[in-house]
Structure 1
Amino acid sequence: MRLDPATRVSFTLMCIPKYSASQVFDIIKERAEQALKRGSYSDEVIRKIAEISNGDVSLAINMLKTASLKAESENRTKIKVNDIPRSDCPRLELSYDERVLLNILEQFISLPASKLYEIYLQEARYLKCERSFRKYMEKLCSKGFVKAIGDKRGRVYEVVAHV
């Protein structure tokens, strides 16, 4: 299924060049200083995230968030390098429904949430309510696979280029 020309015209694709590992390090370090408690992360953690992200700042930010949430969920006050999500095969960590949604988005690159949900209902093994759909999409966003653009009404999901 393809988007009709009238719908496609309303979406534009922006290509943003990759950052160097040192640029990503600087950006992520600044974000960590703003968002996390002092001493809850090390330069080693930030450097590892910068290397793994391959110049994708959005992915790096999501990796930092995921690592900090993992440390917090284990009642630790410091992020460890092994809290950083695996990047060698991150799809293994996705649920069946998350993989279905990601596959749909990879076909279309970008879709409004309502259209994505409609297609998902056709392809899913077991029908899920909109709330479950939103939770799957939140997880895909937090893991760095997908970007959410816009607010609740009119939200568009877009696959992130590194996937």
Structure 2
Amino acid sequence: MEAAGHCGKTGPMKKDGKASKNNFGATNPTEANQEAPVQRVDSPLESWIFSTAACYHVTQQREILENYTSGNFGKVYLATGDSMDVVGKGDVRIKLSSNATWTLRDVKHIPGHVWNLISVGQLSGRGYGMTFSNDGWKVSTGDFAFTAPLDPNQPNRITYLSASP
């Protein structure tokens, strides 16, 4: 399995072969300048963050995953050089502000991962279009589109959505 920290691409490395550290906490050091620093989130387990640095959609919450498949799906490597096991994958239904539900497919289950991440790269690879503006992140595919508003505490940086119970 490819390292999540590099999405199968080369990037900045330290002399010992580990990924270079950055002060963004991003999972892909090559895109760290595009990712916002996360200062704090009131409830990180109930929120989702759009990330240009994450190679995969990620959650630690087994209970929100549908169509779950358990198994050894390899490891992901963080910008710190640490690794975490991927123990399963499934789909997550995310409730949008319009009360519509969006199903996020192929979400990796990584116990102990701090954030729920939506990978912009994974969405793009599945044919989703994304537009970033002062209003938020517009996500679209076919006839389906929504705009996720920007977090007022981190303007123009991070967007949060809530998973459906």
| TM-score, with length taken from structure 2 | 0.24
Higher relative contact order (CA 8 A, sep 6+): 2
Richer in helix (by share): 1
Richer in strand (by share): 2
